Amino acid sequence: MRVLFHRRPCVPAESNSIIDGHKLTIQEELAQSRFALEIAYSNFDNVTDPDLIDCYIYEVNAVMKRYKYLLEQAAEMNLLPETKQGEAYRALSLFS
């Protein structure tokens, strides 16, 4: 079985300017990681089997670490507003 993945750049059609591909990729990955985190939390909330609970705990932690890394990268590249940087960490914490 052969699986091919093709990733097209997401550039607005009305834009005539050149967009830095790395910055665009970070923003896309942040959105994908946030979505993956929502799915992992949803799955964790809907399972009762102890093995699946452990599985989703690991998945939530893994996606959380990736999201945190991407947020740090985006902050270094000034892609996040200064006021929103701290909020992004608090909104996704496991324990409020």
Give ∠ CA 34-38-41 in degrees, rounded to 5. Answer: 135
Q: Which residue in the block uniquely carries the two structure tokens 């452990």? A: 54
Mention every residue, 6+ apart, whose C-beta is less than 8 A from residue 26.
70, 73, 74, 77, 79
19-31: pLDDT as tens digits: 566 666 888 899 9
Which range is most confident: 3-17, 57-71, 79-93? 57-71
